Amino acid sequence: MTLLNVVDVEATCWRGDPPPGERSEIIEIGLTVVDLAAGERVSRHGILVRPAHSRVSEFCTELTSLTQAEVDGGVGFAEACRRLAGEHAAPTRPWASWGDYDRNQFTRQCRADGVGYPFGPVHTNVRAAFTEAHALHRRPAMPEALTLAGLPLDGRHHRGADDAWNIAALVLHLRERGVTLAP
């Protein structure tokens, strides 16, 4: 069994700059485990994360549907990273995301919060792989890629668990096209 973690995060965000003293923080981690050998999505997870240095704005709620009350019930960022490592073998399992935003957000937040980076070194930018496999001139947004691949959008865009599930469908689409994404 060759497993791949497909990860998508949602973070606090604003229409413009963050309010004074606030910074963008992960508020949801979506993760879908893909069995590459079997060619199937085997599990779907969502971890709500309580922000420590920001609040969920009205704009963020409109975008993600997440409210401050919901994320207040989440776990701290360090605990979320421990769960990724312990429950999802994040340090040893290859992982993928749509673009580099998720990888960069984890890197920034781990550094800022003094938390150990939960992932191993093998990361695939599915957006770049999709763009190359389809010989596109620009990198499409995830919903557009689903349309190009003839796949439905399952769930709500900008919810981590739903987006990870949909990105995993694109991973399997690329696999069917003969694209290798992880060892």
CATH of the domain at 39: 3.30.420.10
- Domain membership of residue 83 (yes or no) is yes
Of 129, 130, 110, the C-alpha closest to 119 is 110
- Domain membership of residue 183 (yes or no) is no
Q: Could you read off the pLDDT of 20-65 as tens digits, one per residue?
A: 999 999 999 999 999 999 999 999 999 999 999 999 999 999 999 9
Strand-strand pairing, 123-125 and 26-35: unpaired
Task: State whether the Cα torsion 70-76-78-82 is positive or negative.
Answer: negative
What whole-number distance in Å separates Cα of residue 59 and Cα of residue 65? 9
- Domain membership of residue 181 (yes or no) is no
Of 177, 182, 156, 167, the C-alpha closest to 32 is 167
- Domain membership of residue 14 (yes or no) is yes
Q: Could you read off the pLDDT of 126-157 as tens digits, one per residue?
A: 999 999 999 999 999 999 999 999 999 999 99
Q: By the 8 A CB rule, do 52 and 77 touch? A: yes
The yes-or-no verdict on residue 13 having pLDDT over 80 is: yes
What whole-number distance in Å separates Cα of residue 176 and Cα of residue 172? 6
- Domain membership of residue 16 (yes or no) is yes
Which pTM was predicted? Answer: 0.96
Containing domain of residue 106, as a range? 3-176
- Domain membership of residue 60 (yes or no) is yes
In three state form, how does the secondary structure of 127-154 look? HHHHHHHCCCCCCCCHHHHHHHHCCCCC
Total domain count for the chain? 1
